[in-house]
Structure 1
Amino acid sequence: LLVPYPQYTGYSIGAAGAFSSIYHSMQLKVEKRMKSGGTLLVAYTISKMITTGDIDSLTSWLESTGLSGIQDWNNLKNERSLSTYDVPQRLVVSYVVDLPFGKGKRFLPNASGAAGKLISGWGLEGVTLYQRGFPLNFGTTGGTQGANIGGQRPNKTGTGSLSGSAESGLNKWFDTSVFCSTALNPPDHPCVPAAYTFGNESRVDPVLRSQGMQNWDFSLFKDTRFGPENRLGMQFRAEFFNLFNKPHFGPPNTTAGAGNFGQVNSTIDNPRLIQFALRFTF
């Protein structure tokens, strides 16, 4: 009964329109415009997304850990879990600040001549991001269901969560001993799913997640006006992407039975990038 079309040795199942989803969130936004020049915008979101399946994969940067397999196409309600795109908390702070130095500003407001041109027109801007990691989804290289449609998951006997920093967990992101399947244990082991049954692991794990994101993009700029009636302008910019050069690790391998099961072997962003720009306007 687990095989929908036993007369065929192989087939694929189109899932368009088969899944359902529900999303709840609280979204807060605070915006402050400063008298001295500049804007501060803070956006904070608490959310939860639940689906019976995820049909599209996202790119690696700031996005999902990948698609999760369907165990039982005859009972999609049993596939209901967190979405692989679920982000429970996300904070974004963006700002543009004119520094209070130089002509017309709080400090040295009467500066003139070459000195006035040098100290006036400086500013800062940037975007800071903090967000929780994406939930992990697990599969196994060995199965007992006998349905030949993929997507079988292992049994899970505990939360699997481990404490410590991201760097300390690269070789063991979660406790692999809580997962049981024929790829990890003898077929007669009591924790292995019985023949022709499915593993009890959720389609997307409710506890285990990939590393969260912390990213700072920052720039320092200077605007200078000159020429007849200050009609000409020049802007200098120094831009820093991933300012603190923080590595963001990719998700661990989540296939029970794989040689690197539970290990992190990749990063999902670039190291710090610094670039300079000079723009002339007329």
Structure 2
Amino acid sequence: THLLHSPERNPAIYGPGATASNLNSRRPFAGIGPLQVGESTGWSKYHALQLTLQKRWGKGLTVLANYTFSKSIDISSYATIEGNSAGPDPFNFNNNRGVSDFDMPQRLVVSGIWEHPRLTNYNPILRTVLGGWQSNVIWTAQAGTPITILSGVDNALMGIGANFADLTGVDWRPPSDRSRGQEVQEWFNKAAFRVNAVGTIGTGRRNQLRSPGAWNADYSLFKNFSIVEALRLQFRAEFFNVFNHTRLGAPNTTFTSPSFARITSAYDPRIVQLGLKLIF
């Protein structure tokens, strides 16, 4: 697959005496400065196993389950000609090889629809208030998205930046029996990384780690009320993240940041939305 990306084609060449202040004088075309060129030299690979199960029961109940086991690998996940998208090494794109930014090795989605009984044998008031509703639920569980540990310092001195952090040899995986608070404070072992050595892009690699996985459930309830033959009023009640389950965001991935390895964000809490729709 030939994918569009934009590598730096006028990088500063590292050598004795190289500093951040003489970047432009070390470029092959010193009078131009940074030069990104749109090229179809990117590539990607994707493999997946997809399973689907659908079951219709009596009395208006339907369940659909989809499971995906996959792996996506590339050297650049987004087609762009604005800015460098080929990683910190313009001489070997494969040094930016890793799982795709959107890679999600496992994802399970279960949805269900239940058409409530119409209560046709009940009195009109109960039939109108309680009968004929429809419940919908979507439950999703998925692995975390990939993250890259960055040095935070352009020690490669090529004027590109986004240097990888060096690996220290310490396992980045922390103990598995930690509390949620400990995970938030240090999602991965900070001792596993350090600033990259001068003249190198870093010994780490793109998308080596993952942010927290998550699960979420959304629920909706609605009913159509007939006004006249061709006119209906639909009432909807929608509950996003119905259980108000905390879904952690990605940790800070820049080694030189004071909040390195710390999670400082989360996805939306429960949101309730009520609505009326006129259908004609």
Give distance in 1, aligned partners of 2:275 and 2:128: 19
After the TM superposition, which residues 100-249 of structure 1 pair with which residues of structure 2 at under 5 Å, given as runs?
100=117, 102-103=119-120, 110-156=121-167, 157-162=169-174, 163=176, 164-181=178-195, 193=197, 195-205=198-208, 208-225=209-226, 233-249=232-248
| CA drift at 1:151 | 2.5
Partner of 2:270: 272
Counterpart of 1:20?
43
Which residue identity lines up with residue 112 of structure 2 in the other structure?
A: Y
CA contact (8 A) 2:118 2:127 kept: no
Distance of aligned partners of 1:81 and 1:158 in 2 relative to their CA distance in 1, 3 Å threshold? farther
* Residues 132 and 165 of structure 1: CA distance in aligned 2, closer, same or farther (over 3 Å): farther
Q: How far 1:199 sits from its partner (Å)?
A: 1.6
Q: What percentage of aligned pairs have identical amino acids?
A: 32
Assess if the C-alpha contact under 8 Å between 1:69 and 1:150 holds in 2. Answer: no
8 Å CA contact 2:100, 2:207 repeated in 1: yes
Give the C-alpha shift of residue 91 in structure 1: 1.0
Structure 1-normalised TM-score? 0.78
CA, structure 1 residues 125+165, in 2 after alignment: closer, same or farther (shift >3 Å)? farther
Deviations 1:23-61 (A, max 9, x none): 11101112223332243221110111111122359xxxx
Could you say if the C-alpha distance between residues 19 and 165 of structure 1 is closer, same or farther in structure 2, counting changes exceeding 3 Å? farther
Which segments of 5 or more consecutive residues in structure 1 lack a partner in the other structure? 58-66, 104-109, 182-191
Q: Give the CA deviation at 1:235.
A: 3.2
Q: What does the per-residue CA deviation read over 1:176-231, in whole Å, with 9 as the maximum and x for residues that have no partner? A: 111022xxxxxxxxxx63x42332101221xx21122211110122344466xx76
Q: Among residues 76, 87, 98, which one is paired with 1:53 in the alignment?
A: 76
Q: Which amino acid aligns with 1:204?
A: N
Change (3 A) 1:255 1:231: closer
**Partners of 2:140 and 2:113 in 1: CA distance:** 15
Q: Which amino acid aligns with 2:142?
A: Q
Q: Offset at 1:13?
A: 2.3
Q: CA deviation at 1:7?
A: 4.6
Indicate which of 15, 27, 31 corresponds to 2:54.
Answer: 31
3-state DSSP of counterpart to 2:146: coil
Q: Which letter maps to 1:149?
A: I
2:257 partner amino acid = A
Deviations 1:76-127 (A, max 9, x none): 1232211121101111112211124612xxxxxx224333333321221122
CA distance change for structure 1 residues 12 and 243 in 2, over 3 Å: closer, same or farther? farther
Unpaired runs of 5+ residues, structure 2, are: 1-11, 15-25
Q: Distance in 1 between matches of 2:201 and 2:279?
A: 66
Structure 1 residues 167, 129: closer, same or farther in 2, change over 3 A?
farther
Q: How many residues align?
A: 251
Kindly indicate whether the alpha-carbon contact (under 8 Å) linking 1:136 and 1:204 is maintained by their aligned counterparts in 2.
yes
User: In structure 2, what residue type is equivalent to 1:235?
Assistant: Q
Preserved CA contact (<8 Å) 1:68 1:137: no
Equivalent-residue separation in structure 2 for 1:271 and 1:13 (angstroms): 41
User: Residue 8 of structure 1: which of 21, 30, 41 is its match?
Assistant: 30
The alpha carbon displacement at 1:234 in A equals 3.9
Closer, same or farther: CA 43–167 of 1 in aligned 2, 3 Å: farther
Question: C-alpha distance in 1, partners of 2:250/2:30?
Answer: 35
Distance 1:173 1:249 in 2: 10
Which amino acid is 2:30 matched to?
A: Y
Aligned partner of 1:36: which letter?
Answer: K
